[in-house]
């Protein structure tokens, strides 16, 4: 790990933390309300380690095989791993065994399998329901109207702990996602009427996290602003 890469990472990390704190201040929220999750997909384990050395604990991955390699290499460190990618049912066993959180649960079958496959020695798996808030064909996630039913199902699964909702607004939204973030927050509050204890709005990425914080995000998922532009996937 070159000294200059570490210095660059440190600079970016400090900048994102400052922006997070400024956005919280602006929104009248304490900075500890919002957890920063570093999205480390496509980045090597030594960059994750360098960020962990700076104090970052939460990391998120989209691609299972790549994630498992990093989780194994960094097993001695006390990191919290979040799965945020689309879930194929044949991947649920490894996800249930290796992650602390899954943000992208979007159907009954995936929820049931994660529950059945969560190893008994681990605490219940934290999950969010992914909501396709802008109704895009290309995107995974349930529609807002389907959230309540999936939430009920998950609440009945003892090895899962339903924490809240996750969304990725359309990239070209003119309002930087504000309307979508607001709708996700309203969906969470409506589910919370019958289901107390939900505490998570996983929303906001490099380009829109200050808007997401203004709209109530509790977990922001930041890749590019921390690690720089991602290489294209082979």
Ligand X SMILES: *Cc1c(COP(=O)(O)O)cnc(C)c1O
- Residue whose CB is nearest to ligand X in the complex, by number: 223
Residue 140 in tokens: 């995974």
- From the CB of 202, what's the least distance to ligand X, in Å? 8
- From the CB of 222, what's the least distance to ligand X, in Å? 5
* d(C-alpha 55, C-alpha 106), whole Å: 31
Q: Which is nearer to ligand X, 158 or 229 (CB)?
A: 229
CA Rg value for the chain = 17
Is residue 61 a contact partner of residue 84, using CB atoms and an 8 Å limit? yes
Q: Which is nearer to ligand X, 153 or 212 (CB)?
A: 212
- From the CB of 91, what's the least distance to ligand X, in Å? 15
Q: Which is nearer to ligand X, 39 or 48 (CB)?
A: 39
Residue 145 in tokens: 């109207």
- From the CB of 87, what's the least distance to ligand X, in Å? 12
99 sits in the region (left: phi over 0; alpha: psi -120 to 50; else beta) called beta
- Interface residue list for ligand X (CB under 6 A): 39, 41, 62, 84, 168, 205-207, 221-225
Task: Annotate 134-151 with three-state secondary structure.
Answer: CCCCCCCCECHHHHHHHH
Please return the burial class of 23, using the count of CB atoms within 10 Å of its CB with bins 0-12, 13-18 and 19+: buried
Q: Which is nearer to ligand X, 138 or 193 (CB)?
A: 138
* d(C-alpha 147, C-alpha 133), whole Å: 11
* d(C-alpha 86, C-alpha 132), whole Å: 12
Q: What SS3 class is residue 77?
A: coil
All residues at 6 or more sequence positions from 201 whose CB lies less than 8 Å from its CB, including other chains: 164, 165, 181, 184, 185, 188, 212, 216, 217, 218, 219
- From the CB of 95, what's the least distance to ligand X, in Å? 14
- From the CB of 196, what's the least distance to ligand X, in Å? 27
Q: Which is nearer to ligand X, 3 or 233 (CB)?
A: 233
Q: Which is nearer to ligand X, 68 or 195 (CB)?
A: 68
């Amino acid at each position: 790990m070159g000294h200059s890469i570490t210095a660059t990472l440190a600079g970016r990390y400090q900048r994102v933390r400052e922006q997070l704190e400024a956005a919280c201040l602006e929104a009248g929220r304490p900075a500890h309300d919002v957890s920063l999750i570093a999205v480390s997909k496509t980045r090597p384990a030594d960059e994750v380690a360098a960020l962990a050395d700076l104090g970052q604990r939460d990391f998120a991955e989209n691609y299972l095989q790549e994630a498992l390699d990093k989780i194994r290499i960094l097993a001695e460190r006390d990191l919290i791993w979040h799965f945020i990618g689309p879930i194929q049912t044949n991947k649920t066993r490894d996800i249930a065994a290796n992650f602390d959180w899954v943000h992208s649960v979007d159907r009954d079958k995936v929820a049931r399998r994660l529950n059945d496959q969560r190893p008994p020695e681990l605490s219940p798996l934290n999950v969010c329901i992914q909501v396709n808030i802008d109704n895009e064909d290309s995107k995974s996630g349930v529609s807002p109207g389907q959230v309540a039913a999936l939430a009920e199902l998950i609440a009945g699964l003892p090895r899962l702990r339903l924490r809240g909702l996750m969304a990725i607004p359309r990239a070209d939204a003119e309002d930087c996602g504000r309307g979508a973030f607001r709708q996700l927050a309203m969906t969470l509050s409506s589910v919370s009427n019958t289901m107390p204890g939900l505490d998570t709005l996983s929303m906001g990425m490099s380009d829109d996290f200050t808007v997401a914080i203004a709209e109530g995000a509790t977990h922001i998922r930041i890749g590019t602003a921390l690690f720089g532009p991602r290489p294209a996937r082979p």
